[in-house]
């Protein structure tokens, strides 16, 4: 078999393997920042193999694997008239994760069944222990805080943005309540 054919077959096999890996990747118990980094790294590997993933497909894969806690934001993104960029999607998902943690301090993105499995297999070394990596959840929390702070600064430096736009993670305008009564002042009027 000629070397070029063997290389093409290996490359095609690698592309198929990476495409399958991308389609099966789920957030599960990962923080959003870690999940998005994983998806992006798979997409970059595909690009290096000569099979880049376009933005629409990348967004599709991210939303497909993000989990039920993010279904509201996924629905809002699907309802948009324009395609969201990956960076904007990342901002929205990280903001939503922070929002979920604010409204429920006990928020744990790990599904109950995954918690049970993880505890049952606690004698087995984790993926990060097998790889020799020092996984640190605090590091990802700090990354999320830094990214949120950077987005806040970016939003404040953009024209037409004020601090009032940052009250809710979706930047929704919340209408002011209508006054229930009106007060009018009349000058030079004396009542007896």
Q: Give residue 106's pLDDT band: very low, low, confident or very high (50, 70, 90).
A: confident
Asked if 45 and 142 count as a contact pair (C-beta separation under 8 A), the reply is no
> What is the rounded CA–CA span in Å between residue 146 and residue 108?
20
pTM confidence score: 0.54
pLDDT higher at 175 or 60:
60
Is 7 part of a structural domain of the chain?
no
Instruction: Evaluate whether residue 38 is within a structural domain.
Output: yes
Q: Does residue 124 fall inside a structural domain?
A: no
111-131: average pLDDT? 45
Number of domains in the chain: 1
CB 58 within 8 A of CB 89: no
Tell me whether residue 160 is in a domain. Answer: no
Boundaries of domain holding 84: 25-108
Give tens-digit pLDDT for 22-70. 999 999 989 999 999 999 999 999 999 999 999 999 999 999 999 999 9
Residue 34 domain flag: yes
In a domain, 10, yes or no: no
């Amino acid at each position: 078999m000629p070397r070029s054919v063997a290389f093409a077959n290996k490359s095609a096999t690698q592309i198929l393997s990476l495409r399958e890996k991308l389609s099966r990747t789920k957030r599960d118990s990962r923080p959003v920042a870690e999940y998005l980094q994983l998806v992006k790294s798979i997409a970059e590997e595909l690009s290096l193999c000569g099979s880049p993933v376009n933005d629409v497909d990348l967004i599709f894969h991210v939303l497909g694997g993000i989990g039920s806690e993010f279904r509201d934001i996924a629905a809002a993104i699907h309802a948009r008239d324009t395609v969201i960029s990956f960076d904007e999607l990342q901002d929205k998902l990280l903001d939503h994760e922070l929002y979920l943690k604010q409204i429920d301090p006990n928020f744990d993105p790990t599904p109950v069944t995954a918690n049970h499995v993880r505890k049952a297999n606690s004698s087995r070394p984790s993926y990060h222990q097998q790889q020799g990596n020092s996984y640190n959840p605090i590091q990802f929390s700090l990354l999320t805080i830094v990214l949120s702070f950077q987005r806040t600064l970016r939003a404040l430096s953009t024209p037409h943005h004020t601090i009032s736009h940052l009250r809710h993670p979706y930047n929704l305008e919340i209408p002011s309540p209508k006054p229930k009564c009106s007060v009018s002042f009349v000058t030079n009027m004396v009542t007896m």
